[in-house]
Structures are given as structure tokens and as C-alpha cells.
Amino acid sequence: MRRLNRKKTLNLMKELDAFPKIPESYVETSASGGTVSLIAFATIAFLTIMEFMVYRDTWMKYEYEVDKDFTSKLRINIDITVAMRCQYVGADVLDLAETMVSSADGLIYEPVVFDLSPQQKEWQRMLQLIQSRLQEEHSLQDVIFKSAFKSASTALPPREDNSLQSPDACRIHGHLYVNKVAGNFHITVGKAIPHPRGHAHLAALVSHESYNFSHRIDHLSFGELIPGIINPLDGTEKIASDHNQMFQYFITVVPTKLHTYKISAETHQFSVTERERVINHAAGSHGVSGIFMKYDISSLMVTVTEEHMPFWQFLVRLCGIIGGIFSTTGILHGFGRFVAEIIFCRFRLNSYRSTSVSLPDGHSSNHLPLITDNSTH
């Protein structure tokens, strides 16, 4: 009884076999089939390699949500060189909450030479070239996110020529913590002084002829300082054409959480538009000479996450490639053989029809003679 049940089970399993075995004596091989097999194997190998490269690669996923953090402070990282002596300029921040942040809290005024050395000029030229490519190819920003903390520092390299020229400019660098509201960071003539109705700069002792707000922005970013990240204003250089000139930068800051396989940081991206004009009260162009960076905080927060293809998905895609190519090449090979057989049959039929048969009366017939049993003897 057990043997009978075991035999029935074995027969049932044989009937469920989806991969029946064909004896080799029944298998017919051909040169065309071998050629198609070689093409199929080569295609499978090529697509498998390409699929493995896709599996190794990663991509950045962007998610958007409302920024609910309104109590934290916003960090501003600054490295700007102005073509004026340090005792003539002052930098501070005034936000919409009428809160003034003095530059003494975190900024350093360093006398420097405004003109760059040959090595520094090459660095600036390369940085400007990268900026132009980023404006044309926005997808390059993903590459920068992936290479954060791995690439070289984007800071201006120190001078290597040990110039004996006396300092004629002021490098203002460091960081400030401000309220997370819209504000205005500005560099203008004179040091900032507190005032009950706002704030003011002590500019009465500075001659108008010494005004020169030509400047170079080596670095400007918001949030956590991440080496390797290139910001929109890095490498910007502006040369003033007049003593009384105003440079304005209108900045929209977007809070960003960056999660890659290398780092996890909270930083900020920003977009910027620029405007510059000469201050001429007689012509109706009012204002104050200087550099003004008006920033606003976006209400949306972006979460940028580096993702990788799961291994199971890679296996599914690989099986699809192998099975699909085998099925497709088999169908194409069968269709090709069918078409070839039709063409050959028509060719043979035409050759038979063109064969003439002589008749006893001297005429000829193009029809094929009937084959009978007597004709075979």
C-alpha cells in the first residue's frame, strides 16, 4: 500500500514537471541556431554587466515637507574679501524681528591683499567653471552630494608667493547665528553702532573717495559647514565701477536634510538673484553704498536621501533579462526559419515549373508529368 501511494505521488510529481527532458537523439542542431545562441549569450553577458553597474550605482531621492522647526538658530558661514581697509568697513545682520547681530560675535576682520596670486586665480577660475556647469547641468548637484566629505576642500588656498605688498583689502570670515526669520546681512562703510530706533554705521569719518566695494565671495553658506559642497555664490567676484555702488543679493534659503552613505547632516540650499547699481540721489537712485545680502527662509524642507537598488530587485531584473532574451531569440529564430523555408519552397516550385517535357507530336509541355507506379519501373 505504501509503495502504491509512493508510486502515485511520484507519477503526480512527474506530471507537474514544467521542465521535461528531451532525449538527445530527438534534438536537431543547426548552424543558424548556433549563431543565434552566440548572439543571445553575448547580449545576456553585455546586459548583465550593465545591470550590475546600475546595481552598484546610487541615486538621490528628494522628499518635501513643511518645516516645523521655528525655534532653532540659523548659522551663516561667511568668507568675503572687500577692497577696503578693515577700519573703514563693518558687517552685521538685521532681521525682521529688529534683532541686530554684531559681527564681533563670530566674524574676523583680516587685512589682506585683494589681488590673487597665480595659484589662487587658477583656483577661482576652476570654481567659476564648475559653477557654470552646475547652472547648465542640475543633475551634477547629486554628484556633489554623494562626494561630500570625500572631495577636496573648496576653500581658497593660502598665498604661496609671500607678497610684500601692503594689505589693501579686508577679509571678513567666520560664522554668525541668527534668528530663523528673514534678514539682511550687509557690509557697508563704518562700524555698526547700537541705536534705539534701529542701527547705524559710523561712516562720517570715511572719505567718499576711499569707497570701493569691489569684493570676492570665497564662501557663503547656511547651516552646518560641509566640506566638498559648492554653494551658488562661491567664487563670485564683483568689481565696482563707481565709488558709490550698491551690490544686492536676494537669497532664498531652503532647509535641507542630507542623508548619504557617507554623512548625515542638516544644511541649507539656496538660490540667489543679483543686482547692482550706482547710488546717485540726483538721478533718483537712492540707497547706501555697500554689499547687501537679503535672505528669506523657505517654509518647505527638503530631505535628500541616497538610495540603492535592493539585491532582490537586482535578481528579478537579471532573471528577466536572461529569460526574456532566450524567449525573444527563440521566437525570432523560429520566425526566421519559417520565412526562409517559404522563400526556398517558392524558389524550388518556380524551378520545377520552368522544367519542360517533350511530347510525341513535337510540342513541349511546361507541366510536370504525373508520377505513376508504372513510371517507376
Q: What is the DSSP string of 301-368?
A: EEEEEEEE--HHHHHHHHHHHHHHHHHHHHHHHHHHHHHHHHHHHHHHHHHHHT--EE-TTS-EE-SP
Model confidence at 194, in pLDDT bands (50, 70, 90)? low
What pTM, to 2 d.p., does this model score?
A: 0.70
Q: What was the pLDDT predicted at 372? A: 47
What was the pLDDT predicted at 332?
Answer: 81
pLDDT confidence of residue 12: 72
For the ranges 130-134, 135-139, 199-203, 292-296, which has the lowest average pLDDT? 199-203
Residue-level pLDDT at 377? 41
So what's the pLDDT on residue 293? 93
Instruction: Write the pLDDT tens digit of every residue in 238-292.
Output: 999 888 899 999 999 999 998 888 778 888 889 999 999 888 878 878 888 899 9
CA-wise closest residue to 250 among 268, 267, 270: 270
Residues written for the chain: 377
Question: Which one is predicted more confidently, 28 or 288?
Answer: 288
pLDDT at 74 over 80: yes
Q: What is the C-alpha to C-alpha distance for residues 303 and 305, in angstroms, rounded to an integer? A: 6
**72 to each of 65, 67, 300, how far by Cα in Å?**
17, 11, 15
Structure confidence at residue 198 (pLDDT) = 62
What are the sequence ranges of the domains in the chain?
Answer: 31-59+307-325, 68-298
Q: Mean pLDDT lowest for which of 12-16, 36-40, 178-182? A: 12-16
pLDDT digits (tens, 9 = 90+) for 6-23: 777 777 777 766 666 666
Burial class (CB in 10 A: 0-12, 13-18, 19+), 168: middle
Asked if residue 170 has pLDDT above 50, the reply is: yes
Q: Cα dist. 354→93, 221, 348, 361, 368 in Å?
A: 101, 88, 10, 20, 9
DSSP secondary-structure letter at 97? Answer: T
pLDDT classification of 226: cutoffs 50, 70, 90: confident
